[in-house]
Amino acid sequence: MGGELWTAVDDYFDGALVPSDPALDAALEATEAAGLPMIGVAPNQGKMLQLLARLQGARRILEIGTLGGYSTIWLARALPAGGRLITLEVDPKHAEVARRNVDRADLGDVVELRLGPALETLPKLAAEGLGPFDLIFIDADKPSNADYFVWALELSRPGTLIIVDNVVRSGEVVDPDNDDPRTLGVHRLNAVIAAEPRVSATAVQTVGRKGHDGFVLALVNDDL
C-alpha cells in the first residue's frame, strides 16, 4: 500500500495547496507527448522549489538539467522583476521541448537555456562572470553530481542554496553492495560535501508519486 498511499497523499495536498496551472499542465502534457522520460519533479516538489527560491530572495538561479522545463517554470516564476534563470541541458530534443514550454509560460525573456554537456558549460559561465547565483538546482545525470556540486560552489556566494535531487534512490544508498553508478554518484556527492567546510548540508527523504527519494540541501557558509 505504500506507493498507492503516498500517491493519494500527494494528490490530496496538491488538490488543497497546489492548484492546477495551465502552463505547467501543458508542459507536462507536451513533455509526455514528445516521448521524454517523465522523471521531473512532482507538482508539490516544484512548489517547494519555488518557495525556497522566494525565501532566498533569489534573483539569479542556475538549473543543471532542464528536461522538459517543468521545474524551470516553477523556479523562474519565483524570480522578481529583472531576475534571471540559466538552465543547462545536454539533449537537443529535451531542449527544444523545454523552450516551447517556457515560451508558452511567457518566461522566454527570463530563462536562458544553454545546450551542451554541463561540465563544459559550467566553466564557461564562470569565465563569463555570470555568477554568483543565489540558488542552484542540480537534477541531471546522477554519476556526475559531485562534479556539478563542485562547480555549483564555484558559482556561489555566501548564503547560496544548492539543492540536489534524487539522492535516496528508493533507499539504495544504504546498501553497501549496490554498484549502480547513480547510487555511487550519491555516495561520491556526499563525500565531497562532507569534506567541504564551506557548506552546511542535510538530506530530506521524500515519498509520493515519485516513489521513495529525497533532496540534499546545502547552504554556502558566510566564510566562503
* Cell reading at 129: 562572470
Instruction: Kindly state the helix (H) or strand (E) to which residue 86 belongs, with its residue range.
Output: strand 84-89
**How confident is the model over 131-190, as pLDDT tens digits?**
999 999 999 999 999 999 999 999 999 999 999 999 999 999 999 889 999 999 999 999
The residues pairing with 64 across neighbouring beta strands, listed in sequence order, are 88, 138
The ranges assigned to domains in the chain are: 2-220
Helix (H, G, I), strand (E, B) or coil at 102: helix
Q: What is 2-220's CATH number?
A: 3.40.50.150
**How confident is the model over 2-58, as pLDDT tens digits?**
789 999 999 999 999 999 999 999 999 999 999 999 999 999 999 999 999 999 999
The size of the chain, in residues, is 224
**How confident is the model over 115-130, as pLDDT tens digits?**
999 999 999 999 999 9
**How confident is the model over 66-78, as pLDDT tens digits?**
999 999 999 999 9
Which of 99, 100, 60 lies closest to 79, judged by CA?
60
DSSP 90: S
Instruction: Kindly state the helix (H) or strand (E) to which residue 187 belongs, with its residue range.
Output: helix 181-194
**Averaged pLDDT of the chain:** 96
Alpha carbon distance 163, 165 (integer Å): 7
Alpha carbon distance 9, 21 (integer Å): 19
Which of 106, 50, 115, 54 lies closest to 86, judged by CA?
115
Alpha carbon distance 158, 133 (integer Å): 10
Residue 223 has pLDDT above 90, yes or no: no
Helix (H, G, I), strand (E, B) or coil at 27: helix
Under a CB-based contact definition with an 8 Å cutoff, are residues 219 and 176 in contact? no
Long-range interactions of 108-113: CB distance < 8 A, separation 24+ = 110/76, 110/79, 110/83, 110/84, 110/85, 111/69, 111/72, 111/76, 111/85, 111/86, 111/87, 112/84, 112/85, 112/86, 112/87, 113/66, 113/69, 113/86, 113/87, 113/88, 113/89
Which of 24, 29, 9, 79 lies closest to 50, judged by CA?
79
Alpha carbon distance 189, 150 (integer Å): 9
